[in-house]
A and B are shown apart, each in its own frame.
Chain A
Amino acid sequence: MMAAANDSMSPNSRAQALAKRKERTNNVITGILSVVLVLWIYPVFMIIANSLKIESAISTDRIFRLPLGEDFAGLANYVYGVTKMDFLSAFWYSLFITVTSVALILLCCSMCAWYISRSGNALGRIMYLLCVFSMVVPFQMVMFTLAKTADTLKLNTPYNICIVYLGFGAGLAVFMFTGFMKSMPVEIEEAAMIDGCSPLQIFFRVVMPITKPTTISTAILETMWVWNDYLLPTLVLDIKKYRTIPMDIQYFRGSYGSVQMGPMMACIVITIVPVILLYLFAQKYIIEGVVAGAVKG
């Protein structure tokens, strides 16, 4: 932009020289980062390329070859992966579990957080402390007993595993909602109460609309967790009947014996491409959600 004006000896020439140097440095940085960018995308590109190759061309010494010529397999791997690996049902279970769990977590935890921030009694305080405490506890601590409890209470199907997720995911959600609600002015809610609203009406008509930003952030963080979670559904669900996507991939890849690499790569592509597309679409919210979650967590 300022390259045209740098040959004169105007009083500004020193500033211009500085600006020019800065621009040159910035161009070098852009160049270096572009190389890093290519390296950053390469693993995803490699998986997509290999998902289009025939089985013998995916061995370790031929993995970097492009799907060209006789290596090219078309969409055969996708067809095989979807039909033989039961991938569609895994996709459906993952989607169903994620949507029901996150919806339940958002509804119940925002209600609970409002009670905590407005009731000012011992129940609220204890609930808050327990939730904060549960965020610290690693899953391995409860995995065995949680699986047994879920079995006993018949929570071991994709249709009601959301209750387990509500219990184990409540900590983060309650923490984030409470942090926001404590900073909300009480006066609006009091005005609604004087106008004759019941607590339920206040919550759904006044509080929920105000907490929308926190709801979005929490929804994103919980979705990223539930969608990618492997260990909890593995231990709770019956793996022969129900498999989520991470379970499906581990089930076919992790089992010993001959592994079909092509269909595996195809399934990995089907798993990550929708997520990446969704991310490109809702990037602003996802990045804001991450920042909000980090600052509060």
Chain B
Amino acid sequence: MEKAIRRYWPVFVLPTLAAFIIGFLWPFLWGIYLSFCQFQTVNKVKPVGFSNYMKVFADPTFVHAFWFTALFTVASTLIINLAAFGVALLLTRKIKGTNLFRTVFFMPNLIGGIVLGYIWQSLLNGLLSKWGWPLLALSEKEGFWGLIILMAWQQIGYMMIIYIAGLQNVSPELIEAAQIDGATAAQTLVRIKVPMVMPSITICSFLTLTNSFKLFDQNLSLTNGEPAKNTQMLAMNIYDTFYSRSGPQWKGIGQAKAVIFFLVVVVISLIQLRFTKSREVQA
């Protein structure tokens, strides 16, 4: 059968392969090449070696965006996962209205990032002006927490669903056995439920980690980087470098930033792969 299938490769593989080359492979390789060049349009390209990369780290907005993103990623990953796991624990206790809660908590996930940002911009600015605080666009700290609240609203439901699926796979016999042995609720949680849902914890923490790290739409619509680019995250800083700055050097620098961004994401993914592998051994 293998031989017969191999003969049909133009039908089975070629369409995807061709689109893949157009939509990913060629832009990717070209992007790497352009990160070593100075260019404004693709017709006038001048190779400049590593100078773009040198200039990236001399750009204070990039360094600021990097730390802002790192802090945001850590904070949102912790908050979202703790909240989602807590809610999942409550919703696996067979309480009244479990389905309704699950449905509603997941719902924000279906709303796109741009729309989400504008919904929360109106809401948060309304609250802030009620309390007499500066509006979102005027304070970096408020922008940061605004983004965290928005992400929590969007992502807690998604992670909750994955945690519920994990908790439902923990065999009831195991928990019953522990209870007969006199384990308290806290002990059952720490010694049995948490280790048994470790796969879900790994998946969810890395999903939130990469989602937060690559955040763009929500950042654009909620704060647009205000005040003075102080709430710009990495993805938005790259976009801004490409399309909002004038000067012949910026597109090359933007592409170099994108390569660095890509490398950081690869490192995060490799760590995830390691975790997943080591987990498989235990299971």
Contact = CB atoms under 8 A, between A and B. Distances in A.
Contacts of A57: none
Interface string B101-127: 111111111111111001110110110
Nearest to B35: A141
B120 A43 contact: yes
B111 A283 contact: no
A61 B126 contact: yes
A275 to B, nearest CB: 5
A145 B24 contact: no
Given A26-B93, A30-B97, A123-B13, A167 B24 contact: yes
Contacts of A170: 16, 19-20, 23-24
A141 B31 contact: yes
Task: Classify the interface of chain A: helix, strand, loop or mixed.
Answer: helix
A280 B103 contact: yes
Contacts, number: 281
Interface string A98-111: 00000000001101
Interface string A203-243: 10000000000000000000010011111000000000000
9 contacts: A40-B107, A108-B16, A112-B16, A134-B25, A140-B216, A146-B27, A229-B112, A231-B216, A261-B122
Interface of B: 1-2, 4-9, 11-13, 15-17, 19-28, 30-31, 34, 42, 87, 90, 93-97, 100-115, 118-120, 122-123, 125-126, 128-130, 135, 153, 158, 161-162, 165, 203-204, 207, 214, 216-217, 220-221, 224, 235, 238-239, 242, 251, 254-255, 258-259, 261-262, 265-266, 269
Interface of A: 26-27, 29-30, 33-34, 37, 40-44, 46-47, 50, 58, 60-61, 63-64, 108-109, 111-112, 114-115, 118-121, 123-124, 127, 130-131, 134, 136-146, 148-150, 153, 155, 163-168, 170-171, 174, 186, 189-190, 193, 198-200, 203, 224, 227-231, 245-246, 249-250, 253-254, 261, 264-265, 268, 271-272, 275-276, 279-280, 283, 286-287, 290-291, 294-295, 297
